[in-house]
């Protein structure tokens, strides 16, 4: 079982879209996936459930936030989705207060790792995918500490790579040498070929020689938004669309790199 997180403190870079679609693509390839929605915006949860259901989860008294603050085993927070290969630990508005909940713990940086131990032991999943919020604090430290690998989605736009060095430093300093996630790669998202800017982004990334970058890029595609409007992923909604095919290629690349 491999745990992969999606991190970038820049919002709108495609973390939630890529996390949900990687799950759907891996499921299509026959893999079992557990998703963890680490963002109070609940976008990952909204990719698998309708708004009313998500609001219901958000109102529950026992949730991801209370479980982490109490040091509970997160197995009790898992729910099924309509896809038999994908389960999820949903987010909640209460996650806005997670940082203070964590500070009170004996090992504030390890709450998520501890909560996932039972799940790791059972190994019922091939992948655990974690969607991080657009911040760099104690909670994202927890997410990185619980991850074997990390993927950085970055938007092909003038500000898409701004702050990347800072993010890489944060990942580098997120744990000890033996317990630091390996950067699987930067995934370039929302590529618009009509804008020349895409080439500039790729050139900049190529210039950062040691930085792994995924071969697959994800183009801007309105099918992504229609899928989200229908509480699903583009991979399940319209498998023939350009972005769905790209996310399937991305999943194959992830599998190659994790082997
Ligand atoms: N390939 C794409 N084509 C069109 N819109 C996209 C694409 N990827 C993401 N988006 C849109 O961009 C916005 C930000 O994406 P999201 O995955 O929520 O980023 P993050 O989780 O990093 O904040 C969302 O509104 C989403 O619908
Ligand atoms: Mg998000």
Asked whether 192 lines ligand 1 (CB < 6 A), one says no
Asked whether 43 lines ligand 1 (CB < 6 A), one says yes
Measured from the alpha carbon of residue 39, the closest ligand is 2
What pLDDT, on the 0 to 100 scale, is given for residue 177?
Answer: 67
Measured from the alpha carbon of residue 12, the closest ligand is 1
What pLDDT, on the 0 to 100 scale, is given for residue 256?
Answer: 98
Structure tokens at 19: 């996390």
Task: Determine the Cα–Cα distance for residues 198 and 211; give it in Å rounded to an integer.
Answer: 17
Query: Global pTM?
Result: 0.97
Atom 16 in ligand 1: residue holding the nearest Cα = 14
Ligand 1 atom index nearest CA of 8? 22
Asked whether 241 lines ligand 1 (CB < 6 A), one says no
Residue 40 CA to ligand 2 centre (angstroms): 9
Contact predicate 123/3, CB 8 Å = no
Residue 88 CA to ligand 1 centre (angstroms): 20
Task: Determine the Cα–Cα distance for residues 123 and 2; give it in Å rounded to an integer.
Answer: 10
What pLDDT, on the 0 to 100 scale, is given for residue 85?
Answer: 98
Test site for ligand 1: of 6, 9, 17, 155, most ligand atoms within 8 A of the Cβ: 17
Residue whose C-alpha is closest to residue 53's, from 236, 201, 231, 240: 231
> Could you give the domains of the chain?
2-258 (3.40.50.300)
Helices (H), the chain: 15-28, 43-46, 51-59, 64-69, 98-103, 111-115, 117-122, 138-145, 164-172, 197-207, 222-229, 234-237, 242-258
Task: Determine the Cα–Cα distance for residues 125 and 93; give it in Å rounded to an integer.
Answer: 27
Classified as helix, coil or strand, 134 is coil
Atom 23 in ligand 1: residue holding the nearest Cα = 12
Write out pLDDT tens, residues 38-63.
Answer: 999 999 999 999 999 999 999 999 99
Atom 27 in ligand 1: residue holding the nearest Cα = 225
Test site for ligand 1: of 14, 151, 220, most ligand atoms within 8 A of the Cβ: 14
Contact predicate 124/72, CB 8 Å = no
Measured from the alpha carbon of residue 13, the closest ligand is 1
Strands 78-80 and 86-89 turn out to be antiparallel
Residues facing residue 59 across a β-bridge: none
Stretches where the chain sits below pLDDT 70 are: 177-178
Measured from the alpha carbon of residue 7, the closest ligand is 1
Write out pLDDT tens, residues 175-200.
Answer: 776 678 999 999 999 999 888 888 88
Per-residue b/e over 47-60, b at no fewer than 16 CB within 10 Å? bbbeeeebeebbee
Residue given tokens 């299509």 in the structure block: 28
Dmax over CA atoms of the chain, in Å, equals 52
């Amino acid at each position: 079982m491999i745990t992969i997180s999606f991190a970038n403190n820049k919002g709108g870079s495609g973390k939630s879209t890529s996390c949900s679609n990687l799950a759907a693509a891996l499921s299509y390839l026959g893999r079992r996936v557990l998703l963890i929605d680490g963002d109070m915006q609940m976008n990952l949860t909204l990719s698998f459930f309708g708004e009313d259901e998500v609001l219901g989860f958000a109102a529950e008294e026992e949730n991801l936030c209370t479980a982490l603050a109490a040091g509970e085993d997160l197995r009790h927070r898992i729910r099924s989705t309509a896809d038999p290969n994908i389960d999820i630990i949903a987010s909640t508005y209460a996650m806005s207060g997670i940082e203070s909940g964590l500070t009170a713990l004996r090992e504030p940086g390890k709450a998520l790792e501890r909560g996932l131990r039972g799940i790791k032991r059972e190994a019922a999943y091939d992948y655990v995918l974690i969607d991080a919020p657009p911040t760099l604090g104690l909670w994202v430290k927890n997410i990185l500490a619980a991850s074997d690998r990390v993927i950085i989605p970055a938007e092909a736009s003038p500000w898409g790579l701004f702050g990347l060095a800072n993010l890489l430093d944060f990942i580098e300093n997120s744990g000890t040498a033996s317990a630091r996630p390996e950067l699987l790669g930067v995934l370039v998202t929302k590529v618009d070929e009509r804008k020349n800017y895409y080439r500039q982004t790729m050139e900049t990334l190529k210039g950062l020689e040691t930085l792994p970058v995924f071969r697959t890029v994800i183009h801007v595609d309105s099918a992504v938004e229609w899928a989200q409007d229908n509480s699903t992923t583009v991979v399940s909604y319209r498998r023939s669309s350009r972005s769905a095919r790209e996310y399937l290629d991305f999943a194959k690349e992830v599998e190659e790199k994790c082997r």
